[in-house]
Amino acid sequence: MKSPVTWLVLVLLLLNVLVACAPGPNQSKGTANEQGSVAGFWLGLWQGFIAPFVFVASLFKGNLSIYEVHNNGAWYNFGYLFGLACFFGGGSSGAARRGKSGS
């Protein structure tokens, strides 16, 4: 059995690791990019859908990023996550299984 001090150290270490992974604020949110535009829902949807392809390409080209930092906030993030969900199926396989078992 481990002592309470050992458990405390382990919990604090785990907490420190989790806090270190927390994202910081986006200083470019709401500001225009070089072309004078701010990304919204539709651009987020498109970029979320193509994100897996852009990620692979970014491994070979250093100037590509998979997320637009000059965005309008929550709507861009929603579109981005929705585009990713659409790309990866969005749970349609679960709906197909329910439909077959219910028939």
| Within a domain: 6 | no
pLDDT of residue 79: 93
Query: Which pTM was predicted?
Result: 0.65
Domain range spanning residue 91?
Answer: 35-103
Find how far residue 18's CA is from the centre of its chain: 17
| Within a domain: 4 | no
Q: Cβ neighbours of residue 70 under 8 Å, at least 6 residues apart?
A: 28, 29, 31, 32, 33, 37, 38, 39
| Within a domain: 99 | yes
Tens-place pLDDT, residues 13-64: 999 888 888 777 777 888 888 888 888 999 999 999 999 999 999 999 888 8
pLDDT of residue 62: 83
8 Å CB contact between 44 and 84: no
* Domain count of the fold of the chain: 1
| Within a domain: 8 | no
pLDDT at 77 over 70: yes
8 Å CB contact between 15 and 47: no
| Within a domain: 85 | yes
First-last CA distance in the chain: 54
Confidence of residue 101 (pLDDT cuts 50, 70, 90): low
